[in-house]
Amino acid sequence: MKLFAFVSHLAVASVATAAPAPIVPKGAIVGRSGYATILRAPPSPTGDVKSARPSYDGPVDYYAQEEGLTIDEARKHLSEQWAFQPIFERLEERLRKAEPDNYVSARINHKPDWHYTLSFKRDPEATLRKYQVNPRFKAAKAAYTEAELKALVAPWLKRFAEERIGTGYAIDPTKGSVSISIPITAAEFRAIAVRKGWGDVPAAIHLSFAAEHHVPWFDPRVAALLRGFASENQATTLQMQRGESGRVVLDDGCLRLAGKGKQKGALVVFHRETGIGLDAHGYLAAIDRRSGKATGRIGEDMSWAAPNPGTEFDGLEHLKAACGNGPVINVGNPESTARFEARYRRAN
């Protein structure tokens, strides 16, 4: 029986451990090579697909939901805020001119009643009273200016960039903080930090990490039927994308896009959040490793966001060695086109 050797960090069975007997997915044909082929599969069921239409309609309903207000309260708050906006803009313009080294920034707060909080480096209450006494304005002491936060975070951004784990950051002077999205797990980050001797990140820098995936990269029950599987080694981050679609097939153990005629399609790789396994009906499918749910069957039409610029993949070298060094396409986190279309059809 074949054992997978194309990953090491995801607890693949070692040569000393017996692999489970493979389960042949519905519609699969196992050739003499021992690997499976799936060129077609029926569309995934759509009976449980919910409408994509949001549960709110317009800014009033959205605001009510976000802030836990009744519709009447939300409408009243928004009406007051829109009327008050010119007063705030005039005040902020005065502060930026008159207190350039003291005034930092402002934010609007919505509870218990809405108000603006204006942040100052020195004497916040006294400074605000010099320019405005309206109770809709409140003062707070700022720990950092935006320039100070940029200086604080700069060496850390350099370190993260050198390790290729920094994907973007946001500065919030009103909170005195910098938020950075890290596309690896907290455990992976700690290992790098220890290896590099970084020490503790300053308290003002808030890191968010990729979620731990409790669903395996691939289901060991189908592993022996595939020659390889590859996905990005970091979590998916925000990027500008468009819609793409195609049919992902299994050709003698190799996941590919369906080719034209006898021509083989490109080898398929995925985002880190997608694995491979069986759906509830026994078909080979892409699996969301965050939820464990099947997102689309191998052999049916799928949709995904593209282009996907990731360049580092776990398992890719083994996949190429086993399936050939032809073109490779990253289909991200694909979804059954039938389910995708049902979601938006029901929204109309």
- Mean pLDDT, rounded, for 247-265: 91
Task: Mention every residue, 6+ apart, whose C-beta is less than 8 A from residue 269.
Answer: 230, 231, 232, 313, 316, 319, 328, 329, 330, 331
Average pLDDT taken over every residue of the chain:
88
Residue 232 has pLDDT above 50, yes or no: yes
How many other CB atoms are found less than 10 A from the CB of residue 319?
24
pTM above 0.75, yes or no: no
Give rounded-to-5 percent helix, strand, coil for the chain.
25, 25, 50
The predicted structure's pLDDT at residue 53: 62
Looking at the DSSP bridge assignments, the partners of residue 140 are 119
pLDDT tens per residue, range 38-93 = 999 999 999 888 876 655 557 888 888 888 888 898 899 999 999 999 999 999 99
The predicted structure's pLDDT at residue 212: 83
pLDDT tens per residue, range 190-213 = 999 999 999 999 999 999 998 888
Residue 263 has pLDDT above 60, yes or no: yes
Q: Which residue has the higher pLDDT, 259 or 31?
A: 31
Q: Strands 242-251 and 274-278: what pairing?
A: unpaired
The predicted structure's pLDDT at residue 3: 32
Identify the three-state secondary structure at position 117: strand
